[in-house]
């Protein structure tokens, strides 16, 4: 169980769920041409999960000092699993993920795509060891990597299957994935800012330079509030521009996406305690899940 918590299995389950929804609720109902068979797609999911799990492990290894202050009850590395064992597991998962990436890149006839897995793996290490200490930059980098867990499906399954006859349809589907990747990026960016405010005490003891440490908790809170307005504006624009005729879809987005986002943004402005910021972080995580589940509505949207 400690290993499952170390790799943050709940987050990994979300990745698997989203990638399965993309394939079976978005691609298959509209008979989109895909490059990967069921086995290949399963390996793509496994590669993504392995690299994400490795990233979670190396993050915990470098966060031992901060987590001891911020969440002592959840410290695993050095308490239940040795640092050496954790690092070995990080290495093994990376080898599996990158190795599967090498195989998949050649199987779709796009060998340069192999570099995507290498870059993501290396970036997760650099993020944990260095970038997360740089105000805002670290938040942006990890949010881009979260968005990549969506885009990578299109890169390996949709783009390689483009032909002259299906180009328009394939590009349309890929643009939908880009839209959802942008949504995931924005939600995760705000959530990372909130988590930095929540964890400011432990980060300060570890001599990190997150935004609330550099400019103060109150100023960082107001910046997070402003960034919290961005996903609201983007979702409203998306609804007005593309989905204004779909009443069921509009209802879903209003109730399960926009309303919680407005609630969370208001809470950011008034939050003062660690528990309040933690509550806001959970709300954004739920909104991320509900946003991804909206992909199930596309058979209604595109019928």
Average pLDDT (213-234) is: 95
pTM: 0.94
Structural domain tally of the chain?
1
Q: For the segment 62-115, what is each residue's pLDDT rounded down to a tens digit?
A: 888 787 777 777 788 878 889 999 999 999 999 999 999 999 999 999 999 999
Boundaries of domain holding 163: 2-301
- For residue 302, pLDDT over 70 is answered with no
Rounded to an integer, what distance in angstroms lies between the CA atom of residue 6 and that of residue 11?
A: 11
Mean pLDDT on 250-274: 95
Nearest residue to 263 (alpha-carbon basis) of 251, 249, 280: 280
pLDDT per residue as tens digits for the range 182-207: 999 999 999 999 999 998 887 777 77
Indicate the Cα dihedral angle 210, 127, 42, 113, nearest 10°: 130
Residue 298: its pLDDT value, please?
Answer: 82
Residue 212: C-alpha distances to residues 128, 202, 267, 282 (Å): 18, 12, 17, 19
Tell me the pLDDT tens digit for each residue of 162-187. 999 999 999 999 999 999 999 999 99
Q: What single-letter DSSP state applies at residue 135?
A: T
Query: Which region among 45-49, 77-81, 148-152, 221-225 has the lowest average model confidence (pLDDT)?
Result: 77-81
Whether the per-residue pLDDT at 267 is higher than 90: the answer is yes
């Amino acid at each position: 169980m400690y290993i499952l918590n170390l790799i943050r299995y709940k987050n990994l389950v979300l990745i698997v769920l989203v990638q399965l929804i993309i394939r079976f609720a978005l691609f298959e109902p509209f008979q989109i041409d895909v490059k990967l068979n069921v086995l290949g797609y399963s390996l793509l999911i496994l590669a993504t999960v392995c690299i994400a799990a490795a990233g979670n492990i190396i993050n915990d290894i470098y966060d031992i000092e901060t987590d001891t202050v911020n969440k002592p009850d959840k410290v695993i590395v050095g308490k239940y699993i040795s640092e050496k064992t954790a690092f070995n597991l990080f290495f093994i998962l990376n080898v599996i993920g990158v190795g599967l990436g090498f195989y998949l890149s050649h199987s779709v006839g796009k060998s340069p795509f192999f570099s995507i897995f290498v870059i993501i793996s290396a970036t997760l290490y650099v993020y944990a060891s260095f970038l997360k200490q740089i105000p805002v930059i670290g938040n942006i980098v990890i949010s881009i990597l979260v968005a990549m867990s969506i885009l990578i499906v299109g890169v390996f399954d949709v783009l390689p299957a483009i032909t002259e006859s299906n180009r328009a349809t394939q590009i349309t589907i890929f643009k939908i994935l880009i839209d959802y990747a942008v949504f995931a990026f924005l939600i995760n960016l705000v959530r990372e800012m909130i988590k930095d405010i929540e964890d400011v005490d432990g980060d300060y003891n570890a001599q990190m330079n997150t935004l609330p440490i550099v400019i103060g908790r109150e100023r960082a809170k107001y910046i997070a509030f402003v960034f919290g307005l961005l996903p609201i504006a983007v979702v409203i624009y998306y609804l007005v521009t593309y989905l204004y005729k779909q009443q069921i879809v509009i209802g879903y987005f209003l109730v399960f996406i926009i309303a919680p986002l407005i609630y969370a943004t208001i809470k950011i402005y008034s939050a003062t305690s660690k528990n309040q910021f933690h509550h806001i972080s959970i709300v954004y995580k739920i909104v991320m899940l509900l946003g991804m589940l909206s992909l199930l509505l596309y058979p209604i949207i595109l019928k």
